[in-house]
Structure 1
Amino acid sequence: MSASRQRTLSGGGQIVLDYLKRMQAENPSFYYAVQGDNDHSAGNIFWADATSRMNYNYFGDAVTFDTTCRTNRYRVPLTAFTGLNHHGQPVLFGCALLFNESESSFVWLFQSWLNAMSGRAPVSITTDPDRFIQVAVSQVLPETRHRFSKWGIFRETQEKLAHIYQSHPTFEPEFQKCINETETIDEFESCWESLLERYYLMDNEWLQSMYNARQQWVPVYMRDTFFGEMHANKGNEGMSSFFDGYVNAATTIQMLIKQYEKAVASWHEKELKADYDTSNTTPVLKTPSPMEKQAANLYTRKIFIKFQAELVETLANPATKIDDSGTVTTYRVSKFGDDHKAHSVRFNAFEMKASCSCQMFEFSGIICRHILAVFRAKNVLTLPSQYILKRWTRNAKSGAVLDEQASELPSNSRESLTVRYNSLRQEAIKYVEEGAKSIHVYNVAMDALQEAVRKVAAAKNKGPGAAQGGTLANGGNQEMCAREENRTAPYQSVVIDVRKNQFQNVLGSCWYKFRVGCKESKNYLGGGLGLMEGGKNGKFDVKEAYGLLTSHSTPLFPKKGIWVENVPSKLAFFAWEATWGRVLTMDRLQKRG
């Protein structure tokens, strides 16, 4: 795109702005910025909710800037910053509506996004090969490794070389094989030259320009940087899929907020399901290796499956020592009968460090079969800690966050906050596990918890250090539209929101577990038949479910959490009545005569 492209906000733009203002009023950690005229009649809009900002602290090492709506000329010019969570699922880091697409607009957008993320740049970012975006990344994220989307390159190549694609059907698979399956730089260079000669494309300007930019999109040049993908030569076939199925060519500005909230809720539900599956099911181990058992307990289910596949492949990829020079030993690892594709592994036994020529760990954060083969040969029984990337583990979202803003507080406050947070979280997890073992223990635990809540509220109102409110650069005027008033207060409000989100995640997980149990039960309201794990004989019955719902002075489950899919209407109606104390129990029937 060589010139800016202008769209108008129309009536729907004010709907979006009103929504953002309302969300920011409800939660000071909700961030938004507007670029444009003073009345915002034709301005670009960026926003990131508290969950997006919190998730960035856990998974913001590798980012994708998704411009699918812009590329496909959708009615809504939506763009999104996304990444992958610990289950390999799309996670949102912020959205924007770009009505005025120019170089300065993209620079403003990236600056707004970086400001919302506390100024912490990602390790890598993947975008479409757009000139305006390149300028914005180079100015705002100069230290971040910038990669062009292969999907974008392949799409543009098909457009530029349409006559070749039509007259030579074999060109496309050969072109993609040259990009995706070459394992060394020399192999790629040779394959590329051969491809151009075979189809007489040596003087093609488009392919020459892509070759000149090869270090920004060909996988073999990118393996030394973390992009969070499972395999260097796979993935990245398309851009982020966060809004797939929710925003399309027919979506209007008026419909956007509803579809946005649906996508956010859906992916949150999928994350809860993945959390539940990881915590409550046991993977099948394929080897007697203690390392496999260790990984099964550490990683999320999807990541463990990836690791397990690499571990199993060590049986067919023996390691052969080829050099032993002091503390570093070099091994040659290749699959049986495939010696021409051998990989070199350098292993330091003293430091328990290994590096492989395939660079899979550097690229994806998952250790490769070649290093695992060397570990097997050296009788290394468990994974060294430096090869366990926390972002792929079950505990990826544990611990304190917002280090950049926390660094502005005194060190003793920062450390005590972290210690208090981790200590309370660990104790809470143990409390939930013990408190759910039987209905009697559950009732005792709930009574104690309610009493603790009252004491904490009383201490918070009386004692020093009560949380202060604050706002985080939201609303406002042209340019950044940001108010940086009190830097300590925003930090406190975000940390409070983090705690709130952690607690909501626990409750959400419990409700998801409840729904799963309901779905699996053959008789949803059969007297004494199990509805979920945790009560007598490891299951709750209807009576216990009623006790769980009515033990609070305020409803445990919100409206939107009861009237949901997969829960039978009979059970949902019962839960709704119980929440409001309207179930016709024996005592209520006696009162009615």
Structure 2
Amino acid sequence: MGERSHSDAQLDTISSGTEEHLISRLPKECKIGAITLDESDDVYPVPRPGMIFRSEPEARLYYTRYANQMGFNVKTRTSKRGREGKVKYLILVCSERTKTAIDASKKQYCTARINLTLRKDGTYRVSAVTLGHNHELGTPSVFPINIEMKCKRKMDPEVIDMGVNKISEQDQKERHGIGENGDGDALQKYLVRMQEQDRNFFYAIDLDDLFSVKNVFWSDGRSRAAYESFGDVVTVDTSCFSNHYKVPLVTFVGVNHHGQSVLFGCGLLSSEDSQSFIWLFESLLHCMSGVPPQGIVTDHCCRTMQKAVETVYPSIPHRWCLSNIMGKLPEVIQEYANCKTLRDRVQNVVYDTPTTDEFEEKWKKIVEDFDLKENKWLKELSLERHRWAPSFVRGGFWAGMYINPQSGSRLTCFDGYINRQTTLKQFVDQYNNALQYKAEKEYIADIHSSSNSQTCVTSSSIERQFQSAYTHAKFVEVQREFVGKADCNVFVAFEDGSICHYNVIEDMITEDKPKESLVEVIYNREDCDLKCSCHFFEFRGLLCRHSLAVLSQERVKEVPCKYILDRWRKNVQRKHVYVKTSYGVEHFGPQVQRFDLLCNQFNSIAAAAAEFEGTSSFVKDTLCNLKEKLEPWTSLLRNSSHVDVQKHSNMIN
């Protein structure tokens, strides 16, 4: 149980699981005058938030003497020292312990206490107070007042002017308020309501030493299920921080089979320190059953986030968002002469250099031509080029997420639902609307992909293979490669048994000038294995024009399934579509109800079978056999609207 404030304070409650955390705050409109004592005072004033003491001993002395005059004794409950050895905060409490009403053999401490925090000027401020005792007080005793102490004890001027929630300008840059102006109540109600409506809803709350909300993370059932299908690459969007939004929002975003953004989870952070990001990443990992992404993309400016990634996901490839970097480029180079030419040159070396050697050669030439040796921003980028330059990162799969040169803001999940002036209350009110829009958009794309086909641009049987397998959006991307294949000229370099090495020369236009690009494709005739030096397939999960040109040269009519990723297929049934949420797509109502009913049945079967190894194995084997029989049936039902259901039901019996 957290802190209970005195009657002057406003009480916000945030629930997490079965625990209640009560956060003590003083309303901003409550004006507190300065406390002064003269030599005739014979009693110490009642402790209140905002009282200031020159030192820790002075604060202890004050509360000890106040306690004596009230009839109780004091002890230290909690204290923590900073790196310099000075106490950063402490909690002084009533030392009395009483037997609990539930269990007479157990005792609990009295709830009376004061919380003290170290300020930047070395003084200590009372940040929270609990006056009530759960026991009878003893005989009061009065101590003489120390005159020097009375003169120095006063109210913080910031508190007098603005209330105890006021913080310094420097602190404001480091810490964002969560739960002010009724926002905390709106967030609490939202989290409780979501947990009632969605049994798979997950949230975590990080409290600071004063039991105030520090950080929050949440993810609904549909987002958690979508992570199972699309959580291989995750982008951490901190646009709200960098653009100074009122809502300190961080989102975890991926892309679905249509190339649309899909939300995995949201966080609210009070500050951008590494510990907050570590807590946030650990919350995501816990939420997703300990399964980390295969790659993570972040803003290149945030060093604290980079440290957090290295701590929580030490073995995961970490890249910087290229569109974010290129978006900052005009601002960085605007002071240089011929900045437009410089921008074009940088864009060319970034997007149009297939090899690392060519990138480094061209980058070095740009630095020399424009005298950029002293530009710290570009110098840092050069040193960390393995984190962002396409020619350095193409060896891994990134689902096309970080390289899109047309991408502006990465805040794609909540475009139109949040801006710089949006409050937290307004955001949670609009949250479900935003996710429902995303779900509806995915549903419409699913219907379009399954009900009709895109027209092929060539007569290639391989193109028709992709046409029948991929969603419209991904097939359009494949078609660009089929069109680009016309610019590729294929030559055999040498052969080694069944392995043939091809040189592919691609004609292209760069800076309005014709150019030739040479890549190598290695083709194994035995297993139809392809390896192109452009790494397009490894990077985006799609066959490149160079590989398609080689397949055409080899007269291959069909590619192996390994080159048609399930991630982009239109007929793969994905779990997140059927998960019940508070913003579910209306069209999926019957499926969601059936899914929910079956899940309940499976849970009851699992409960009955789990008692013994034999029954558990029997159910497991039976379900595996059932799945094998179901898959062809559901495939037929999915591809035909005139299927004799009774006929195919025999496949199950």
Q: TM-score normalized by structure 1?
A: 0.67
Out of 154, 163, 176, the residue aligned to residue 6 of structure 1 is: 176
Residue in 2 that maps onto 1:133: 305
What RMSD in Å do the two structures reach over aligned CA positions? 3.3
In 1, distance between residues paired with 2:534 and 2:402?
10
Q: Following TM superposition, by how much is the alpha carbon of 1:388 offset from its aligned partner in structure 2, in angstroms?
A: 0.9
1:255 aligns with 2:431: no
1:82 aligns with 2:253: yes
1:374 aligns with 2:545: no
1:32 aligns with 2:208: no
Out of 376, 388, 402, the residue aligned to residue 205 of structure 1 is: 376
Counterpart of 2:557 in 1: which secondary structure? Answer: coil
Q: Following TM superposition, by how much is the alpha carbon of 1:258 offset from its aligned partner in structure 2, in angstroms?
A: 2.4
- Structure 1, residues 128-164: CA drift from partner, whole Å, max 9, x if none? 0111110111111122211111233234444554422
Q: Following TM superposition, by how much is the alpha carbon of 1:175 offset from its aligned partner in structure 2, in angstroms?
A: 2.1
Contact in 2 for aligned 1:62/1:125 (Cα 8 Å): yes
- Structure 1, residues 379-400: CA drift from partner, whole Å, max 9, x if none? 1111211111110011344489
Any gaps of 5 or more consecutive residues in structure 2? 1-169, 509-513, 580-605
Out of 78, 83, 92, the residue aligned to residue 263 of structure 2 is: 92
1:123 aligns with 2:294: yes
Residue in 1 that maps onto 2:165: none
In 1, distance between residues paired with 2:192 and 2:630?
33
Q: Following TM superposition, by how much is the alpha carbon of 1:181 offset from its aligned partner in structure 2, in angstroms?
A: 1.9
In 1, distance between residues paired with 2:469 and 2:532?
23
1:193 aligns with 2:373: no
1:360 aligns with 2:530: no
Out of 388, 392, 412, the residue aligned to residue 564 of structure 2 is: 388
The answer to which structure has the higher helix fraction is 1
Counterpart of 1:276 in 2: which secondary structure? Answer: helix
- Structure 1, residues 185-225: CA drift from partner, whole Å, max 9, x if none? 12211211111112211132222111111100111101001
Query: Is the alpha carbon distance of 1:151 and 1:317 closer, same or farther for their aligned partners in structure 2, counting shifts above 3 Å?
Result: closer
Contact in 2 for aligned 1:35/1:44 (Cα 8 Å): yes
1:345 aligns with 2:515: no
Residue in 2 that maps onto 1:48: 219
Contact in 2 for aligned 1:24/1:30 (Cα 8 Å): yes
Residue in 2 that maps onto 1:227: 398
Out of 429, 434, 438, the residue aligned to residue 267 of structure 1 is: 438
The one-letter amino acid of 1:145's match is P
Q: Following TM superposition, by how much is the alpha carbon of 1:48 offset from its aligned partner in structure 2, in angstroms?
A: 0.7
Query: Is the alpha carbon distance of 1:139 and 1:19 closer, same or farther for their aligned partners in structure 2, counting shifts above 3 Å?
Result: same
1:318 aligns with 2:494: no
Q: Following TM superposition, by how much is the alpha carbon of 1:115 offset from its aligned partner in structure 2, in angstroms?
A: 1.0
In 2, distance between residues paired with 1:399 and 1:423?
19
Q: Following TM superposition, by how much is the alpha carbon of 1:316 offset from its aligned partner in structure 2, in angstroms?
A: 3.2
Q: Following TM superposition, by how much is the alpha carbon of 1:369 offset from its aligned partner in structure 2, in angstroms?
A: 0.8
Residue in 2 that maps onto 1:578: none
Contact in 2 for aligned 1:321/1:330 (Cα 8 Å): yes
Query: Is the alpha carbon distance of 1:370 and 1:32 closer, same or farther for their aligned partners in structure 2, counting shifts above 3 Å?
Result: same
Out of 305, 320, 342, the residue aligned to residue 171 of structure 1 is: 342
Query: Is the alpha carbon distance of 1:411 and 1:288 closer, same or farther for their aligned partners in structure 2, counting shifts above 3 Å?
Result: farther
Counterpart of 1:335 in 2: which secondary structure? Answer: strand
Contact in 1 for aligned 2:296/2:319 (Cα 8 Å): yes
Residue in 2 that maps onto 1:109: 280
1:58 aligns with 2:215: no
- Structure 1, residues 532-568: CA drift from partner, whole Å, max 9, x if none? xxxxxxxxxxxxxxxxxxxxxxxxxxxxxxxxxxxxx
The answer to which structure has the higher strand fraction is 2
How many residues matched? Answer: 437
Contact in 1 for aligned 2:246/2:420 (Cα 8 Å): yes
Contact in 2 for aligned 1:67/1:78 (Cα 8 Å): yes
Contact in 1 for aligned 2:528/2:559 (Cα 8 Å): no
Q: Following TM superposition, by how much is the alpha carbon of 1:173 offset from its aligned partner in structure 2, in angstroms?
A: 2.5
Contact in 2 for aligned 1:223/1:232 (Cα 8 Å): no
Q: Following TM superposition, by how much is the alpha carbon of 1:251 offset from its aligned partner in structure 2, in angstroms?
A: 1.2
Query: Is the alpha carbon distance of 1:125 and 1:12 closer, same or farther for their aligned partners in structure 2, counting shifts above 3 Å?
Result: same
Counterpart of 1:394 in 2: which secondary structure? Answer: coil
Contact in 1 for aligned 2:204/2:218 (Cα 8 Å): yes
The one-letter amino acid of 1:136's match is A
- Structure 1, residues 355-376: CA drift from partner, whole Å, max 9, x if none? 0011000000000011111111
- Structure 1, residues 74-98: CA drift from partner, whole Å, max 9, x if none? 1111111011100011111111111
Q: Following TM superposition, by how much is the alpha carbon of 1:293 offset from its aligned partner in structure 2, in angstroms?
A: 1.5
In 2, distance between residues paired with 1:386 and 1:174?
37
Any gaps of 5 or more consecutive residues in structure 1? 450-593
Q: Which shifted more, 130-139 or 417-426?
A: 417-426
The one-letter amino acid of 1:243's match is F
1:148-547 equivalent positions in 2, closer than 5 A: 148-164=320-336, 168-229=339-400, 234=405, 238-335=409-506, 340-398=516-574, 416-417=622-623, 420=626, 423-424=629-630, 427=633, 430=636
The one-letter amino acid of 2:564's match is I
In 2, distance between residues paired with 1:196 and 1:117?
44
Query: Is the alpha carbon distance of 1:274 and 1:31 closer, same or farther for their aligned partners in structure 2, counting shifts above 3 Å?
Result: same
Q: Following TM superposition, by how much is the alpha carbon of 1:423 offset from its aligned partner in structure 2, in angstroms?
A: 4.7
1:569-588 equivalent positions in 2, closer than 5 A: none
In 2, distance between residues paired with 1:432 and 1:334?
43
Q: Which shifted more, 16-25 or 387-396?
A: 16-25
- Structure 1, residues 466-510: CA drift from partner, whole Å, max 9, x if none? xxxxxxxxxxxxxxxxxxxxxxxxxxxxxxxxxxxxxxxxxxxxx
- Structure 1, residues 306-329: CA drift from partner, whole Å, max 9, x if none? 112212332332321111122321
Query: Is the alpha carbon distance of 1:257 and 1:418 closer, same or farther for their aligned partners in structure 2, counting shifts above 3 Å?
Result: farther
Contact in 1 for aligned 2:322/2:403 (Cα 8 Å): no
- Structure 1, residues 221-241: CA drift from partner, whole Å, max 9, x if none? 010011101896746554251
In 2, distance between residues paired with 1:18 and 1:38?
23
Contact in 1 for aligned 2:323/2:406 (Cα 8 Å): no
In 1, distance between residues paired with 2:547 and 2:189?
54
The one-letter amino acid of 1:248's match is N
Structure showing greater relative contact order (alpha-carbon pairs closer than 8 Å, 6 or more residues apart): 1
Q: Which shifted more, 169-178 or 325-334?
A: 169-178
Q: Following TM superposition, by how much is the alpha carbon of 1:6 offset from its aligned partner in structure 2, in angstroms?
A: 3.5
Query: Is the alpha carbon distance of 1:370 and 1:127 closer, same or farther for their aligned partners in structure 2, counting shifts above 3 Å?
Result: same
